[in-house]
Amino acid sequence: MNGLIKITGKLLLALQLLLAATLSVSARAAGPVDGNQVTIPYGSGGRIVYNLNSGIYQVYKGKTIVFSNTGLTARVNGIQVSSKNYSLREYKKSPIADGFGKGFKYTILLSGNRLTKTAQVFYVYPGKEFFITQVILSGKNLSSNSIVPFSGNIPAVTGDPRSVFVPFDNDTFIRYNAKPFTAPFSNTSAEVGTVYDNNTRNGYVVGSIEHEVWKTGVRTAAKTDSGNTVEAWSGYTEESVTRDHITHGDVRGDIISSPKIFVGYFNDWRTGMEEYAKANRIAETPYVYNWTKPTPVGWNSWGVMQDKLTYEKATKVADFFADSLAAFRTGNTAFIDLDSYWDFMLKGGLEGDYSKLKQFADYCKNKGLQPGVYWAPFTDWGWKDGPDRKVQGSNYTYGQLWTKVGTGYHDIDGARAIDPTHPGTRQRIDLVIGKLRECGFKMIKIDFLGHAAAESTHFYDTTVTTGMQAYRKGMEYLVDKLGNQMLIYAAISPSLATGRYVHTRRIACDAFKSIKDTQYTLNSVSYGWWQTYLYNYIDADHVVLSTETEGANRARMLSAIITGTFITGDDFSEHGQWSNRAKKWYQDAAILQVIKNGKAFKPVEGNTGENASEMFTQKIGNSIYIALFNYGSNAKTFVIDAKRLGLSPANSYNLHELLQGNIVHKTPELKLDGADAALYKLEIEK
């Protein structure tokens, strides 16, 4: 009986293998393979048609080809290979179920011609208007620092064609840029690229949804002779974008996988970018615990106090929030966050006495507030004092920790990067985070995280060979030490790779009080608002009113409201016009209702280059909100285009202006003074 069972099992296995082989090479019109073509359906009317003879595929949306002449390339052990170079191509299909839902995995196995075995994998899910593709290399002792999982042509883009430059991070006041996509043209964007017609909003979105190993660039090009191209390239480094001084590190092993690449053509490119952000959060689920409390609001000391921060001034701010801004809440509390220079409150440095800092934290809690703090865990700010300084909490010197780049080190923003994988770095994290937790802090702003993502000639952990692998190691260690005690807020940091590790992230670099600061921040919201679906929250940085005009104050405040959270930054330990305006504006019930929603508004227009859109919109419940900004010095009239806003032409609307309390009846034209902003709530006229 046992012998019969064994024989039956072997026969069953043989039949399964025979069936798989038959499916891979000889399925015909009855299945997805017709002759030499594999047809892979996705979304509503989308399909990938892969030619098994050529190694090239086309992507259709309905009857229209949206990507053509599409394939892959990779450099493996110093040899460049393409999907066109192989002599044998086999096909397999299998069901999958993951965070995207139930779907199918289609694998094209490429072999022959003594080339590295390669798999081009497609992941498709019913109801998803995009597909995901990936390249997997297999062999012995492989090494690669360049894989192009997706490269193809797109048709001519008419109307007002644009290609957006997306920065890798938010450092050095870098800007997004919606560039005119007109030949001759080339643009390399970090992690994701989009090409669209701003008039119709039809557009393409291609980007990496995995960031734990590779940095990815997306090249878009408009050529006068050979058409338009889009290429996702894993292994991208560029000093002005990724901050790296050397090429991308080699990925090594018997199996090397590219990141998964999101590919789609959308009726509205903005929808495509939002779907892309959501796909990132699914593909790389958060490592940090989920934040389920209300939208964060509060104060940060860097806005005005900066290096003048003291215990006395900080506690006076807490008094002001408790006594004069008691209604400035989205829940039961607000955060009072100490930025850089909180170490002035220590005795004996980071290894010394933290009792004054704990006293501040306790003071906030007694006032019904939540204490916050700041740290940059992967930087050495004192590097100019030499390499032999002892690393706090360890027996190592800082010179041993410095991130090695060729014969030098990785320096940016005046700080030197330290190796995230080094035990000295980790012991320093143990010390500082342990002390801050003991003090009872409930929020931490972590900064200059991009230093941890730098490519290095050599990491302490020899299993780590790329900047993103180092970033993962460092951030996971940091999050483990933080536990679930604090709201984790990232300031300067990689835009996409940080999504796993923090609750909220600043959308741009430092911004303070002027209308120029507002316009700079909103450039990032105009073309990066979609990150609101990657993080629990994105943030516009501290809002400073100071002595600016009332209009400039309104604009700066509104820039935070439409980004999703509200962190103030004035010196509320002293009285001035900023404190009077804060008491009036920050406690307005209608404004707080918008803040509680916690999601960024989306831009109405996407053709402003390095500048910002003037109009943003968001639906909250059954209400539609419009935010208007006039960045110029002269008054301007804005025309409200109902169709452009997605409003029904069958309805008439009233617009209620929330910041100044004005009612505007049935007019498509709204006048706004120079350096000013307005927030309207639309109501259907009954």
For the chain, what percent of residues have pLDDT higher than 70?
94
Q: Looking at residue 33, what is its pLDDT?
A: 64
Q: Looking at residue 45, what is its pLDDT?
A: 92
What is the dotted CATH code of the domain comprising 297-506?
3.20.20.70
CB distance 181 to 159 below 8 Å: no
CA–CA dist 187, 191 (Å, integer): 12
Enumerate residues 6+ apart whose C-beta is below 8 A from 468.
Answer: 211, 212, 213, 214, 215, 453, 497
Which among 163, 131, 146 has a CA at the least distance from the CA of 59? 131
User: Is the pLDDT score of 37 beyond 80?
Assistant: yes
Average pLDDT over residues 149-160: 96
User: Is the pLDDT score of 20 beyond 60?
Assistant: no
Average pLDDT over residues 469-491: 98
- What CATH architecture is 615-684? Sandwich (2.60)
- The strands making up 504-506's β-sheet, listed across from edge to edge, are 537-539, 504-506, 487-490, 443-446, 370-375, 335-337, 297-300, 566-568
- Who has greater pLDDT, 364 or 8? 364
Which tokens in the block code for residue 508?
């741009």
CB distance 110 to 89 below 8 Å: yes
Which among 319, 301, 318, 323 has a CA at the least distance from the CA of 370? 318
Sorting pLDDT into bands at 50, 70 and 90, what band is 24? very low
User: Is the pLDDT score of 652 beyond 90?
Assistant: no
Average pLDDT over residues 578-604: 96
Q: Looking at residue 338, what is its pLDDT?
A: 98
Q: CATH 2.70.98.60 residue ranges in the chain?
A: 25-283
What is the average pLDDT value for the chain, to the nearest integer?
93
CB distance 651 to 686 below 8 Å: no
CB distance 311 to 359 below 8 Å: yes
Which among 379, 384, 350, 335 has a CA at the least distance from the CA of 488? 335
**This prediction's pTM:** 0.94
Q: CATH 2.60.40.1180 residue ranges in the chain?
A: 615-684
Q: What are the tens digits of pLDDT across the range 89-107?
A: 999 999 999 999 999 999 9
User: Is the pLDDT score of 651 beyond 90?
Assistant: no
- Who has greater pLDDT, 151 or 646? 151
CA–CA dist 166, 115 (Å, integer): 35
Q: How far is residue 58 from each of residues 37, 70, 134, 337, 535, measured CA to CA in Å?
A: 10, 6, 16, 52, 34
Q: What are the tens digits of pLDDT across the range 373-398?
A: 999 999 999 999 999 999 999 999 99
For the chain, what percent of residues have pLDDT higher than 90?
89
- Who has greater pLDDT, 1 or 262? 262
CA–CA dist 56, 202 (Å, integer): 25
Computed from CA positions of residues 382, 385, 387, 390, in that sequence, does the dihedral angle turn out positive or negative?
Answer: negative
* Displacement of CA 659 from its chain's centroid (Å): 30
Q: How far is residue 394 from each of residues 220, 253, 350, 416, 585, measured CA to CA in Å?
A: 47, 33, 12, 18, 48
CB distance 624 to 617 below 8 Å: yes
**What string of DSSP letters covers 139-158?**
EEEEEESEEEEEEEEE----
Which tokens in the block code for residue 456?
């290095």
Average pLDDT over residues 352-359: 98
Helix 589-597 to helix 550-561 angle (10° resolution) is 40
Which tokens in the block code for residue 250?
């080699």
Which among 482, 483, 463 has a CA at the least distance from the CA of 473? 463
Q: CATH 3.20.20.70 residue ranges in the chain?
A: 297-506
Q: Residue for token digits 């940085």?
A: 541
Sorting pLDDT into bands at 50, 70 and 90, what band is 289? very high
Q: Looking at residue 117, what is its pLDDT?
A: 97
Sorting pLDDT into bands at 50, 70 and 90, what band is 579? very high
Tell me the CA end-to-end span of the chain in Å, nearest whole number: 81
Average pLDDT over residues 57-74: 97
Indicate the burial class of 427 (C-beta count within 10 angstroms; 0-12, 13-18, 19 or more). middle
- What CATH architecture is 25-283? Distorted Sandwich (2.70)
Average pLDDT over residues 419-425: 98
User: Is the pLDDT score of 194 beyond 90?
Assistant: yes
Q: What are the tens digits of pLDDT across the range 302-339?
A: 999 999 999 999 999 999 999 999 999 999 999 999 99
Radius of gyration of the chain (CA): 27
Enumerate residues 6+ apart whose C-beta is below 8 A from 509.
Answer: 170, 171, 172, 173, 174, 492, 520, 541
CA–CA dist 515, 521 (Å, integer): 10
Q: Looking at residue 686, what is its pLDDT?
A: 65
Which tokens in the block code for residue 338?
């100490």
Which tokens in the block code for residue 277?
């952000």
CA–CA dist 249, 570 (Å, integer): 43
Enumerate residues 6+ apart whose C-beta is below 8 A from 547.
Answer: 576, 577, 578
Per-residue buried b or exposed e for 550-579, using 16+ beta carbons within 10 Å of the residue's own CB: bbbbbbbbbbbbbbbbbbbbbbbbeeeebb
Helix (H, G, I), strand (E, B) or coil at 359: helix
Average pLDDT over residues 16-42: 56
Average pLDDT over residues 413-438: 98
* DSSP letter, residue 541: -
Which tokens in the block code for residue 87?
């002599």
My answer on whether omega of the bond before 41 falls inside 30° of 0, hence cis, is no
